[in-house]
Amino acid sequence: MTERLYYADSHLVEFEARVVAVSQAEGGRAAVSLDRTAFYPTGGGQPTDTGTLGAARVVECVDEEDRVLHVCEGEIPSEGANVLGRVDWPRRLDHIQQHTGQHILSQAFVELYGAQTRSFRMMEEVCEVDVELADPSDEKVYGAVRRANEIIWDDRPVRIHQVTPEEASRLPLRKDSAREGELRVIEIEGFDFSPCGGTHARSTGEVGCVVARHWERAKGLVRVTFAAGVRAVEDYGRANRTARATAALFSVGREEGTEAAARLQEENKQLQRRLRAAEETAARAEARELYEEAAASSEGGSAVVVARAFEGPDAEGLRRLAHALAAHARCVALLGSVEGGAARLVFARAADAPGDMNALMRAACQTLGGRGGGRPEMAQGGGQHAERLAEVLDAAAASARG
């Protein structure tokens, strides 16, 4: 059995221990078991500690109920040897700040809204809590964050209690524990009691601050993404740089960047509307010219066929022109273009024109080595054999003319 030193002191990062066993972990690395350890293994939403055992590098710690396995690389200590263990303090401090910050934020949600936390995840840059929060809003989420920071800045003591189940039943625990027997309870003076096996601050002031990045609904709960301590400061730095860079694009102050971007977005929407209107006008003018040219050369058949290949128009431009042509009496529009080495087709006809555009399209796409389809009055498709575009347009025109 491994004695877990971090249970009594989360700030202990250097210790001596004896190697009980050395086995092989996944990937061929060594797994070292000690009689005592300050290394925290992955669990409870908190990632593993890292550090060194003698000359070996500890890259992961695994909880196996009665023992902790230290997955190591490098010079592995031998069984029975005494080793000096060192936990990476910057990583441990980060985990202390995030985990204690989560306790404070979770209890703030309970105190203000009766909203229990159902899960907690500590990731590389941010943390997440899933909360049973009814009618979530910015006001509620940031209200909990403000309350959490009040507790942090009070610098309240954080105490560790080892209690029996009977003693635990008399404590105002924020959540029940699934563990049987003796419980480790984390107390934040005058605010929270919670059973937990993680690493925590000695006082709330050590957390520094808590900030919420955003919230969203997730699986019937409200997922709040937050950061504490050093992570919160780094997150502010990134957000501040982004805000300043955005504002600089508009030559305005940082606080004015959002308003300037909104104005630009609205101007862009107006320009897009004007552009679409201009494109519709241009398409109608081009369609009239193409139709009159085709009608003049028509041999008096039941349809006026416009079969044309273009260089450059995108799919929307091709569809726009086809629609404009189909607005003319007895017109059949058979249009194609080449983009990125592939052929694109749009076939359309007027309501009083003969022919099945869907059937014509399927035959054309078979020749082009692609696929397409649609309705009798309009279809679209394409294929990779762009060199055969003129051929398929001629064949479709011949069929349309009957």
What string of DSSP letters covers 57-74? EEEEEEE-SS-EEEEEEE
SS3 content of the chain, % helix, strand, coil (to 5): 40, 30, 30
pLDDT of residue 100: 97
Q: How far from chain centre, in Å, is Cα 133?
A: 22
Region for 45 from its dihedrals, namely left if φ exceeds 0, alpha if ψ lies in -120 to 50, beta otherwise: left
- pLDDT-derived band at 44, boundaries 50, 70, 90: confident
Cα–Cα distance, 30 to 144 (Å, whole number): 44
Query: Residues 6 or more apart from 144 whose CB is under 8 A from it?
Result: 105, 108, 109, 112, 113, 224
What is the token pair recorded at 54? 């003698």
What is the token pair recorded at 334? 């058979």
Angle between helix axes 89-113 and 138-153 (nearest 10 degrees) is 120
* Ordered DSSP codes for 127-157: EEEEE--SS--HHHHHHHHHHHHHHHHTT-B
Supply the pTM of this predicted model: 0.75
In the predicted model, what is the mean pLDDT of the chain? 93
Cα–Cα distance, 282 to 274 (Å, whole number): 12
pLDDT digits (tens, 9 = 90+) for 141-178: 999 999 999 999 999 999 999 998 888 888 999 887 76
pLDDT digits (tens, 9 = 90+) for 90-108: 999 999 999 999 999 999 9
- Looking at domain 3-87, which CATH architecture does it have? Beta Barrel (2.40)
Neighbours of 172 (CB within 10 A): 8
Q: How far from chain centre, in Å, is Cα 281?
A: 41
- Consecutive H or E run containing 193: strand 192-195
Cα–Cα distance, 339 to 311 (Å, whole number): 8
Q: How many contiguous H segments (helices) and E segments (strands) does the chain have?
A: 8, 20
Strands, DSSP E only, in 219-317?
Answer: 221-228, 304-311
What is the token pair recorded at 298? 């028509």
The CATH fold assigned to 93-248 is: Threonyl-tRNA Synthetase; Chain A, domain 2 (3.30.980)
pLDDT digits (tens, 9 = 90+) for 336-347: 999 888 999 999
- pLDDT-derived band at 300, boundaries 50, 70, 90: low
Percent of the chain with pLDDT over 70: 99
Neighbours of 364 (CB within 10 A): 28
Whether residue 180 is predicted with pLDDT greater than 80 in this model: the reply is no
Answer for the pair 303, 295: CB distance below 8 angstroms, yes or no: no
* Ordered DSSP codes for 15-36: EEEEEEEEEE-GGG-EEEEESE
- pLDDT-derived band at 185, boundaries 50, 70, 90: very high
pLDDT of residue 176: 77
Q: Is 258 helix (H, G, I), strand (E, B) or coil?
A: helix
Q: What is the CATH number of domain 274-401?
A: 3.10.310.40
For the chain, the domains span 3-87, 93-248, 274-401
Whether residue 312 is predicted with pLDDT greater than 90 in this model: the reply is no
Whether residue 299 is predicted with pLDDT greater than 80 in this model: the reply is no
- pLDDT-derived band at 216, boundaries 50, 70, 90: very high
Answer for the pair 158, 203: CB distance below 8 angstroms, yes or no: yes
- Nearest alpha-carbon partner for 63 in 76, 80, 48: 48
What is the token pair recorded at 335? 């249009």
Q: Is 215 helix (H, G, I), strand (E, B) or coil?
A: strand
Same fold for the pair 3-87 and 274-401: no
Residue 206 is given by DSSP the state: G
pLDDT digits (tens, 9 = 90+) for 218-276: 989 999 999 999 999 999 999 999 999 999 998 999 989 889 999 999 999 999 999 99
